[in-house]
Structure 1
Amino acid sequence: MALAILVVGGCLALVVDSLWLKVAHRELQTAADAAVLGAAGELASDARLSADYDTQELATAVRQQAAHVAAGNTAGGQSVRIDSLVEGDVHLGKIVTDSNGLDVFLETDVQPTSVVLFAHCRRQYGNPVPLFFPQFTGQPAADLTCRAEASIDPHVVGVRPLDQANVPALPLAVMELHSDPRRLDTWAVQIEARRGRDQYRFNAETGEVELGSDGIPEIVLHSTERGSEEEEEKRGNVQLVDLGTGLRVMELDRQIHHGWNWRDLQEYGSEFRLDQGTVRLQGTERIEGPLVDDLRDMIGHSRIVLLYRAAGPAGADGLTHAEISRFAAGRIMDVRPSERTLELVLQPAVVATRTALTADSSATNTATNTNSPNPYLYRLSLTY
């Protein structure tokens, strides 16, 4: 009888410990996924826009971010550990197609777009998962390791809000090109031809904008002065555009602070895409009143913006329309209102978000994607 009780007790102990380890493993995988998403998001650094960014510095930041996120999670009651040293648990690279047509991870520090990491609860790290019945199993604790992989994909064709995540975008459109060669205040000239001034930098440690050079040019955006709507050379190079707001001040205020939700994009099927050509949006070239303070609130925050190539004639009320051509991203560095117009200093930025859409958002390999890569906007996703 005593032997039978012992056998049954041992079986129950094994079952309980087995279930406990399954729970701990699930917690560890969740922590690993969070860490790798944080690390891959760090790959989408503004440093990519600098003419001579330091790849080693970026790799260090990615590894440290992975370890930081992991340490904030637990599995089986133990803190999760990731070795952030160069030869440790965090590996940077790309997903490529091998000779057999399979997607594989290629480790490289040259323009990496993927991160693979291993998260641990193990004796060698001093954080094994304790078991409930060591007297039956002979083991006081168990070792667990989980692998996670995430990537950033620049072949973005659109954005779609998620249930719990708005699109991190401003209702702001910037003039990309102009048919008049005298207009030099365009994104193409100031940012992509790098003719803009470089007077500001963002301090990621303090979250503040500072005076000083960082190797990334800025563009000065200016709204249209009242009475100048019919003078093309005096029109502004920025608009507030209507994405489900009717250009109502309270709704624009919400979008500036919180981004676009699915209701804003219902007219477009709850997503906004540019892979089928330009999209015409109503806009206003007047930015004034409380909206100036709203934009000032966003100084230092990186957000998606839109680019337009053509704008319709503006009425006396400042209303017009813009032909939206591309997605970009920027960080407001300064807001300078005056009696006649508003100036915004915008620096291009890099944004990685789960709300970005690629041509095939379920695909893990970007090597065969024919869409042009966007240097400012990336889709962030788990890719294992």
Structure 2
Amino acid sequence: MSVCASSLAIFFLAASKHRRPVDYCTCAPQSFLARGETALGPNGTATCARHPAVARVGSPGSAVRWVMFNVQGKSKNRRGTIAVLTVACLIMLLAMVGFAVDMGYIVLVRTQLQVAADSAAIAAAWARLDSPLPQVLATAQDYASRHVAGGKTVNLGPRDVEFGWWDSRVRRFNPGAEPINALRVVARRDLSTNGRISLFFAPVLGLCELDVKAQAVAAFADNFSGFRLPNADATLPVLPIAIDKKAWDALLAGSGTDQWSWDDHAQRPRCGSDGVLELSLFPARVGAPGNWGTLRIGRNNNSTRELSRQIREGLNQQDLEPYGGRFELGKDSTLVVGGDPGLSNAIRDDLESIIGQPRVASLYAKVAGQGSNAQYTLVGFAGVRILDVKLTGPQDKRRVVAQPATVVIPAGTINRSAARTSYGVYSTPCIVQ
């Protein structure tokens, strides 16, 4: 017991002074050998598994003295190695942090430019439906300037907005191609526009600035051969009215009057010119053909009440059932629909209720039959806006004044041939690329 107590005292004293200690383990070597808890130390001596840092001095069966190995020199070497590795790891860690910060900033600026390009493209596409190209360019620049990328306002140059044709079959934008149904907006930060972005840590490697850009293509369909409903509860803004195709072509050629204008702010028509010609629609009279008529879309026994509903609300799913759910031209680009060349005063209030609202009217090439037996051969569609209705008084004084307008439909069938079958009728502009 005295030997063990002395050994413990010497061990703790030596450990506290960080010097080479000499210790006497109380563990019996026979017990370790019996349990297999010994290992060979220096010079073939047995070591205690519980105290691997000491070596046994003596012979089996005698009091065992354990001397702690002197590992002070090795500890110094290890501390120097760890210091070098720590510095190297810190350098690598700082490099990775710098790379992550710069890459995150680049992604942030590119995302901000993409948002600006998307916004400008959509706004310009909507403006393109009824505005000239210079105004469309101004719209794109205005919406882009409302965004910031990397702390700078996004400005568009004249070359950053391109007009062209979007081929939906191969999903490709063709700049400068006709007819124009798409535009591409490029938002950039480079030497030419808005300046390059400055990086934070990349200058250590010699890269101080970087060019970043994003682009968006917005497109719309503008040549339809027919229309359908996007869902069962929707309606189509299609009037049960047909207009003579020859009269429409003459209007587009410049034959018409310009006595009315539509006030968007007041939402009502005004007398006076607005640069858009009007077409005076009148029914057939004795000895003179008319240039419009009402159509019986849907059931053959279409009543005045159904006609009024279609004028006010548009065509519903029940109206399209006789045509397979689609009101569209056939393979020969025609559709025959029954109608009436006359004009009843019963629908006057209905027509007045939609004054100023963009609607789709059908275009007919010929009409066969008389009265309620008339058959209209439809060959196209046109966007119109009714400005004036007069269905009282002498028959030769009755008229409905309309002018071309832009109509956006929910769903339709695109005519991919070269023939034009719709005018002023468009799909909703959207980002396609």
Task: Give TM class, smaller chain.
Answer: 0.5 to 0.7
Gaps of 5+ in 2: 1-110, 148-152, 188-212
Question: 1:343–1:61: structure 2 CA closer, same or farther, 3 Å change rule?
Answer: farther
Q: Which residue of 2 aligns with 1:42?
A: 127
- 1:58-113 C-alpha deviation (Å, 9 max, x unpaired): 3334665x679x99xxxxxxxxxxx785449x84522457xxx9644356699742
Q: Percent identity, aligned pairs only?
A: 24
The two structures have a TM-score, normalised by structure 2, of 0.56
Shift of 1:336: 1.5
Question: 1:41–1:249: structure 2 CA closer, same or farther, 3 Å change rule?
Answer: farther
Q: Which residue of 1 aligns with 2:424?
A: 376
Q: Which residue of 2 aligns with 1:182?
A: none
Q: Which residue of 1 aligns with 2:384?
A: 330
Q: How far apart, in 1, do the equivalents of 2:410 and 2:214 lie?
A: 22
Pick the structure with greater CA Rg: 2
Alignment match of 1:158 (pick from 214, 226, 231): 226
Contact kept, 8 Å, 1:247 with 1:283, in 2: the verdict is no
Shift of 1:293: 0.8
Alignment match of 2:399 (pick from 343, 347, 365): 343
Task: Indicate whether 1:167 and 2:236 are aligned.
Answer: yes
Q: Which residue of 2 aligns with 1:281?
A: 337
Q: Which has the higher contact order (CA 8 A, sep 6+)?
A: 1
Q: How far apart, in 1, do the equivalents of 2:215 and 2:313 lie?
A: 33
Contact kept, 8 Å, 1:154 with 1:374, in 2: the verdict is yes
Question: 1:337–1:67: structure 2 CA closer, same or farther, 3 Å change rule?
Answer: farther
Gaps of 5+ in 1: 1-24, 48-53, 72-82, 120-144, 178-185, 361-368
Alignment match of 2:374 (pick from 293, 313, 320): 320
Task: Map residues 214-363 of structure 1 onto 2, 5 A cutoff.
Answer: 214-224=274-284, 228=285, 231-233=286-288, 235-244=289-298, 246-277=301-332, 278-315=334-371, 318-341=372-395, 342-359=398-415
What CA RMSD, in Å, does the superposition of the two structures yield over aligned residues?
4.1
Question: 1:345–1:281: structure 2 CA closer, same or farther, 3 Å change rule?
Answer: same
Query: Which amino acid in 1 is paired with 2:138?
Result: T
- 1:178-213 C-alpha deviation (Å, 9 max, x unpaired): xxxxxxxx2233x13321111122233433322222
Question: 1:236–1:193: structure 2 CA closer, same or farther, 3 Å change rule?
Answer: same
Q: Which residue of 1 aligns with 2:256?
A: 196
Q: How far apart, in 1, do the equivalents of 2:121 and 2:181 lie?
A: 12
Query: Which amino acid in 1 is paired with 2:428?
Result: L
Q: How far apart, in 1, do the equivalents of 2:225 and 2:360 lie?
A: 13
Q: How far apart, in 1, do the equivalents of 2:140 and 2:314 lie?
A: 26
Task: Indicate whether 1:94 and 2:164 are aligned.
Answer: yes
Question: 1:339–1:319: structure 2 CA closer, same or farther, 3 Å change rule?
Answer: farther
Question: 1:86–1:114: structure 2 CA closer, same or farther, 3 Å change rule?
Answer: same
Query: Which amino acid in 2 is paired with 1:357?
Result: T
Q: Which residue of 1 aligns with 2:14?
A: none
Question: 1:344–1:93: structure 2 CA closer, same or farther, 3 Å change rule?
Answer: same
Question: 1:306–1:84: structure 2 CA closer, same or farther, 3 Å change rule?
Answer: farther
Query: Which amino acid in 2 is paired with 1:334?
Result: D
Secondary structure in 2 matching 1:223:
coil
Count matched residues. Answer: 291
Question: 1:35–1:304: structure 2 CA closer, same or farther, 3 Å change rule?
Answer: farther
Shift of 1:312: 2.0
The two structures have a TM-score, normalised by structure 1, of 0.62
Shift of 1:32: 9.1
Shift of 1:298: 1.3
Contact kept, 8 Å, 1:162 with 1:262, in 2: the verdict is no
- 1:255-309 C-alpha deviation (Å, 9 max, x unpaired): 2122222321111111122252321111122332441111111111111111112
Q: How far apart, in 1, do the equivalents of 2:170 and 2:164 lie?
A: 13
